[in-house]
Structure 1
Amino acid sequence: MSSSPSRNPTNAEAPPPQPTSTDAVAEGSSKKVRKPYTITKSRESWTEEEHDKFLEALQLFDRDWKKIEDFVGSKTVIQIRSHAQKYFLKVQKNGTLAHVPPPRPKRKAAHPYPQKASKNGLTVLFYNSC
C-alpha cells in the first residue's frame, strides 16, 4: 500500500459538497439561491444644479419624464423617476407647498374581468368598470 491519502469519501479532510440551486429544486425545497449582487456602476448623487433643473422641468412638463430627461441632460428617465418618487415622498412628509403634478389617470381596462356576485342562489355577472 502507498502512503498517500486514500480517495475514500469518508476522509475527514474533504469538505462536504455544497448544494447548488438545482439540488435545492431536486430535493423539493422551494428556496431558490440568488445570484450574487454586483454593482456595475457607482451611484451618482444629484448636484444642486441638476436638482434645480429637475424642479424647473417638473413645473414645465409635469410627469413627462422624457422631456424632463432632455431638460436636465445628465440623468436617465429611470434616474429621474426614482428621484421624483423620493422628492414627492419628502414633500408629502414635510408638508411643504412645492409643486407636485397630479398622478397620471388610470387607464380603463379594454376587457375587464367579470366579477361574480351571488344573489338568492343566482349568479349574476358584473363587469368591472374601473
Structure 2
Amino acid sequence: MTSRSGTLVLDCDGLSKVVADDREVMALVRGAEKEDMRVVTSVLTLIEAHHSRVNSARFNWAVSRLNVEPVTEEIGRTAMALLVDAGLHGHKYAIDTVVAATALHAPKPAVVVTSDPEDLAMLCGDRVRIVKV
C-alpha cells in the first residue's frame, strides 16, 4: 500500500474546472498527484456541480479520476459542529461545510481548491490550506 502525503479537496468550482480542463486547476491536480496526494471531492459536490449543460461524458470521465468521498455520519457531525462554531446555518452552508469537514478528516496536509475562500476559511480556520481559483 502506498502512503499518501496529503489531500487536495475540490469544491464545486474546483470540480467544475477539472471537468472544463481548466489549465490552472489541472496544474494543481497534476502537482498533487505528482506529490502522491489524494485528490478528492465529496459526493455532495458531484450533485452541486452537475447540471443540464454539463457534458455528462466529460463529467463522468473527470470524476472517475478522483476519489469521491461519502458523507458519513462522522463527516456530518463534524459539519454540524463547524456550523455551530461559525454561527452559520446549514440551509445556506451545508455543502461548503461538508467540503470543510471532508478536508478536516483527510490525510494532512489538506488543501481545498475553491472560488469561495472566505466561507471555507470561516469553517476551517488555519487547519487546512485554501487555494482560490
Using structure 2 for the length normalisation, give the TM-score.
0.23
The answer to which structure has the higher helix fraction is 2
The answer to which structure has the higher strand fraction is 2
Using structure 1 for the length normalisation, give the TM-score.
0.24
Greater Rg by CA:
1
